[in-house]
Structure 1
């Protein structure tokens, strides 16, 4: 092996030479510096600058902004789910089981890449979750799960846009966008207040849906490792551990939330026996996301 290849700069150049020729010159994909600055700035804002900036300030009231943001997320995810599904499975005949890279320049392939690129920016917009928590001084909601999940999603999206935007990962993108539609629909409805929240009994199932999503994505990503359909396994070797990490954090959160709820129920039952039962909170089901509250009452995980 050439000794130059052992140098970090040379290794990066070698890796970047393997990029998808269709996307390698797109803005923000030309240089890994862009993603490094983006994610570094996000982490600095979430864990350092944001809390220090708000230290001596009163929490901001951002309910209307959160409602508008949640509605935007629903509409954007519906739009890109349709665009991505149409230009892959519907019009281009993609296989939902095992699909290799096409490197095609036909109109559907290029439209698919364009939709995926802008969908990546919708996932970057998820950082607004964190910004809202900073503005509301809900720093406890900016958990390891919250920060790691947002960071990994954006990094993985950038990586796939660089090296394998179409192919096997399209199935996962469609599942992910569908889950976001359900989640942000709930957050928007929860912002409408108690008159609507009483009908949101299904929120307890949303964390389970998140966990199920990651299990499905891992299983689906394993297929090209054992079945040769033209998708580079190396990309999946990098991506699967990231999904496993997020899945582990979600499961840990779910278990902790379940145990907390169980302990609270036991305490309430004991008080009831002693004749001092407190009123049950209709919104005290399992938190949806470890990243906090959509409107000060409904909790989120992502």
Structure 2
């Protein structure tokens, strides 16, 4: 009779575990696989058409249902007298995504930093062998979190807040981008995902504190960090795409003399989408922090203090009724 496997034993580490047990995300993931499937993490494979949410039809259906929820939900909530404020659920959701994002960020670091140290940075973003099965597990889990983030919009709709274009555009197409990265096995995706996860740790912590009633002073810094994220992402994406194209070009072009792993479809989609993100976030930053225009982009609102002072000076004897802030 085979001996039962103890998923919480400190023994039985895999070759992909580079950090000590208990502080190693890879160790925890392996124990989770053993506990839920009875097999080690190394036995899992991303198989399009078989793995959960691994088909283009499923992804397209998810986007359509998400957008239907955005617009249909707003129509339904117009007939509801009061906003539905799920405060505890909102706090739990934000705290959960903060924790998951931090865990996956460490999981990427555990796999990529040793490769960076041993084979160089160029290998990690372009090398044919840099896409490994342990990395694929983390990529897939990161992809699943993009589905979980759809719940952000559900909470906004229930509160009778109108999600702006940037909000649902970003949420829906980022999920598609993560799917395309998995299909195309884009090596540079690890650093794009890692930077995004770092931003999400900070962003969802901000949302968690805000949902607890805390006033945070650094939301402008958060938006700036998001813009810097896309600048770095685009620099790497265009470099890798250029490297791939020049390596296969018929006409000799300046090149590093090596290829970059990943399909061109995934590379083109990533470059175009991230470029649009950069433009939209810069536009949001200008409207929110520089021009002082009122807006509801991503849940932020700015206040035009100059116009408030002008109105107050025009009617000094009239007391204005305070406006109740939105939750």
Q: What TM-score comes out, normalization by structure 1 length?
A: 0.74
Q: Which has the higher contact order (CA 8 A, sep 6+)?
A: 1
The change in CA–CA distance for 1:277 and 1:263 in structure 2 (over 3 A counts) is farther
Q: Which residue is equivalent to 1:204?
A: 220
Q: Which runs of 5+ in 1 are unaligned?
A: 1-20, 285-295, 298-302
Kept in 2, the 8 Å contact 1:29–1:162? The answer is: no
The change in CA–CA distance for 1:70 and 1:22 in structure 2 (over 3 A counts) is closer
Distance in structure 1 (CA, Å) of the matches to 2:230 and 2:317:
42
Q: Which residue is equivalent to 2:79?
A: 56
Q: Which residue is equivalent to 1:259?
A: 291
Distance in structure 2 (CA, Å) of the matches to 1:186 and 1:30:
32
The change in CA–CA distance for 1:276 and 1:113 in structure 2 (over 3 A counts) is farther
Q: Which runs of 5+ in 2 are unaligned?
A: 1-44, 244-257, 294-301
Distance in structure 1 (CA, Å) of the matches to 2:319 and 2:188:
52
Q: How far off its partner does 1:260 sit?
A: 2.6
Q: Name the larger-Rg structure.
A: 2
Pairs within 5 Å for 1:1-302: 23-24=47-48, 26-28=50-52, 30-47=54-71, 49-57=72-80, 58-90=82-114, 93=118, 95-97=120-122, 99-100=125-126, 102=128, 109-139=132-162, 142-165=163-186, 167-193=187-213, 196-197=214-215, 200-227=216-243, 228-232=258-262, 234=264, 235-257=266-288, 258-260=290-292, 264-271=304-311, 275=316, 296-297=326-327
The change in CA–CA distance for 1:256 and 1:29 in structure 2 (over 3 A counts) is same
Distance in structure 2 (CA, Å) of the matches to 1:270 and 1:277:
13
Q: C-alpha root-mean-square deviation of aligned residues, in Å?
A: 2.8
| Secondary structure, counterpart of 1:201 in structure 2 | coil
Kept in 1, the 8 Å contact 2:241–2:260? The answer is: no
Q: What TM-score comes out, normalization by structure 2 length?
A: 0.69
